[in-house]
Structure 1
């Protein structure tokens, strides 16, 4: 391949983050300090990940390693194949979002990684859910920032130091939506078909009608290239939530600022998603910026992928 793919061009440079590690119940365990980069050279792409685990609790022995990661990638905007030695599998890009499934021999887990490059082009919302067979072991997630001159510019290093300090403070914060304020998270999202081709724009609104501190009616509407509206009564129980009709049924599990819903509608459609509260901070409040990714299935077959950024406006 003479030129890098569109996705590879989108993620060029070095990305800095401090994703948090959570166990399977959603309890925070520690941090992974990571500098990630990918190099396209002589028609080949190689990924590098350098850093180390801080903390980790019972998971530390599994996720602390003594050497950086490196692995080859068969670069493509259709199937990106990870050729080892440190990761083996594949990923599929849908515009600014890639859904990757692969195995990491060092961590001894199967991973489902979602990387979402936000419209600013400089922010990446990342998560990896980690599996032993079909059983969830834990989750890494966090926010990365891109640099191209980290090693040469003091101002860039200062900016990244502030970002990492914010991730340290905010990474363990549990996901929550406003519980006493009526309003809506809304924005324009991109729709991509299962064929990885753009399918238009969708205006998304998640309107909240709080009932009490643990229950909220969610009125969700999608209009544009995809039209659907539904209402659920959402009940929160610690890191878990339950969606109890009347228009959809399901549940979710939160790991820090990210909530991972599975929703079944009353027809043949279902949803698997991630809702990441980027600006959540410690305290008795919710954030105002929600990065969302929804994969929509017709039966068991992926039909389309919807992703974007929603912002809060009180009613």
Structure 2
């Protein structure tokens, strides 16, 4: 690959992803330690500004709480870094973050390093269909070792001065994130039904490949075990069954058609599973958008799955699934 393959064309204007995230995003993501224990909040306003052919990413806010992680993730100045904008590789040029992000429609997978936090980050941002809500997570690493995770929901405003409607919407989201940020990811434990929805499929080279109807039928076995029957139909055809065993914020997929495990950080569950008898790995994030305190499960999941074959990324599947109780 030559440098011209990834160098953005400034004359072409902002990329599709840059246009999608224009404005300012307001959130209060929660911080979790490596074991998935809730540690605090980070009040954040962030924006990616395209001006005169150049893009700069700004992030301002502050950490509340944090426990033993507070010293690492509390800084004395806002973040700002240049971005070489493109629809292929968005290069983060420093000084505060170095790395890149790859958009797949309304989802971006970004991997980069933050010198101020002294961690590598794998950030997944998924803009929902309303165009105003973003599902965010950053898994934080030292080398290959996970040291923590930020995640939560953001809402977007498009004007520098907030009107009454925008102010109320931001205040409502921040209050909801304060209440719901620490809520653990859990699926229905006594109710049969199906999470279903239409998802977008993208190729590894970031081209749209059609839509996939996703259905995850749940059949609870007991309070800790549930049988999942998964069907993908459309641009991607697959059908498989697994038994999922939950152990706190960890879960284990124990065959017969797939094997793997997951760890949840609050509402965000991060599974990796391997399809039996194939060189296929699925790495995902399942975020319970409407999860709230109480003895219940979220009814809406924002999902992203990255499918690899032979250890090479093959496709990216993302969308929203809604719970449908069994008749």
TM-score where L is the length of structure 1: 0.99
| Structure 1 residue aligned with 2:7 | none
**C-alpha distance after superposition, 1:197-228 (max 9, x if no partner):** 00000000011000111000001110000000
State the Cα distance separating 1:154 from its structure 2 match.
2.6
Say whether 1:312 aligns with 2:303.
Answer: no
| Structure 1 residue aligned with 2:5 | none
Equivalent residue for 2:294, pick from 273, 276, 283: 283
Runs of 4 or more, structure 1, over 3 Å off, are none
SS in 2 for 1:160: helix
| Structure 2 residue aligned with 1:199 | 209
State the Cα distance separating 1:159 from its structure 2 match.
1.5
| Runs of 5+ unmatched residues, structure 1 | none
Equivalent residue for 2:128, pick from 118, 122, 128: 118
SS in 1 for 2:263: strand
**Count of residue pairs brought into register by the alignment:** 315
Q: Does the CA-based 8 Å contact 1:175-1:254 persist in structure 2?
A: yes
SS in 1 for 2:270: strand
SS in 1 for 2:188: coil
Instruction: Work out the CA distance in 1 between the residues paired with 2:160 and 2:319.
Output: 28
Instruction: Work out the CA distance in 2 between the residues paired with 1:27 and 1:274.
Output: 18
Say whether 1:176 aligns with 2:225.
Answer: no
Equivalent residue for 1:264, pick from 247, 252, 274: 274
**C-alpha distance after superposition, 1:65-106 (max 9, x if no partner):** 111000000000001000000000011000000000000001
Say whether 1:7 aligns with 2:17.
Answer: yes
| Structure 2 residue aligned with 1:58 | 68
Equivalent residue for 1:92, pick from 80, 102, 111: 102
1:122-201 correspondence runs (5 A): 122-149=132-159, 151-201=161-211
| Runs of 5+ unmatched residues, structure 2 | 1-9
State the Cα distance separating 1:155 from its structure 2 match.
2.6
| Structure 1 residue aligned with 2:308 | 297
TM-score where L is the length of structure 2: 0.95
CA gap 1:230/1:167 in 2 versus in 1, 3 angstroms: same
State the Cα distance separating 1:150 from its structure 2 match.
5.9
SS in 2 for 1:276: strand
Equivalent residue for 1:49, pick from 40, 51, 59: 59
**C-alpha distance after superposition, 1:223-275 (max 9, x if no partner):** 00000011111000001000000000000000000100000001111100000
SS in 1 for 2:83: strand
CA gap 1:274/1:152 in 2 versus in 1, 3 angstroms: closer
Q: What is the Cα-based RMSD across aligned positions, in Å?
A: 0.7
